[in-house]
Amino acid sequence: MKIISSIEELRDQLSGQLRTAFVPTMGNLHEGHLSLMRLARKHGDPVVASIFVNRLQFGPNEDFDKYPRTFQADVEKLEKEGVYVLFAPTEKDMYPEPQEYRVRPPDDLGNTLEGEFRPGFFTGVTTVVLKLLSCVQPRVAVFGKKDYQQLMIVRNMCRQFALPTNIIAAETWRADDGLALSSRNMYLSAAERAEAPALYQNLNFVAEEMRAGHLDTFQLERKAMDELAKRGWQPDYISIRKRNDLQPPTAGDLAQGSPLVVLAAAKLGTTRLIDNLEI
């Protein structure tokens, strides 16, 4: 596996490649990330991964400086997966001058859910993803469904900018007890880790109620949030949305059986976890 930090060197290395499959990451790789590499291989060749902790998507009080960085262990895992190139730029490589041009998602998608609780987050995400896609120029790129809103925003961005990259969605990888794998799980204490699956359990409760015909979405959301709060969580949201645009479903949408997804974000101790479940 070649490890490259320079954009110019990356482009030289990939010159002439027409079926590149790309998986962008922020490192601290776990089995969920590695499953993305395997899915990428099914859709293209060579497989290129990136590791870059993107300062633009972190708020002033978020964990940029303490975000887990495990570069050598990540390299070993990617080598075992047969990744062809690891693009690991420094901040100077990615942002040799201040990144004054930004990509801002539309307000109805970028300022709701995660965007409401993390202002500017998705502008940071879309800006770095557009730049990474420009650097790698892949035919396909793989993003996980765990970050459901991010996946939709990136997919819409690629469509509206007519980028020649097909965005492929990968299913969320879970531990045996249902907890969605995340780099931030390492922040959980032993007791918090034992409690953490309650988030997914609450999503399943909402989904089962909806499937049983209980369609009062506000009541279901409130009941699920109250249940988490009783267990010591600090929920930001549990919200039932339409899959196609992440807007709240109308009575007509519910009557017609529009495909839905329930999304959640909540703090357990000092660790903020997100998850979702398609209904």
Are 169 and 145 spatial neighbours (Cβ–Cβ below 8 Å)? yes
Catalytic residue among 20, 22, 33, 172: 33
Instruction: Verify whether residue 33 is a known catalytic residue.
Output: yes
Residues that constitute the known binding site:
26-33, 57, 144-147, 150, 181-184
Residues that constitute the known binding site for beta-alanine:
57
- Give the sign of the dihedral formed by CA 115, CA 121, CA 126, CA 129: negative
What is the full DSSP assignment across the chain? -EEE--HHHHHHHHTT-SS-EEEEE-S---HHHHHHHHHHHHH-SSEEEEE---GGGS-TTS-TTTS---HHHHHHHHHHTT-SEEE---HHHH-SS---------HHHHSSTHHHHSTTHHHHHHHHHHHHHHHH--SEEEEEGGGHHHHHHHHHHHHHTT-S-EEEEEPPPB-TTSPBP-GGGGGS-HHHHHHTTHHHHHHHHHHHHHHTT---HHHHHHHHHHHHHHTT-EEEEEEEEETTT-PPPPHHHHHHT--EEEEEEEEETTEEEEEEEE-
Cis before 119? omega within 30 = no
Residues that constitute the known binding site for ATP:
26-33, 144-147, 181-184
Cite the active site residues: 33
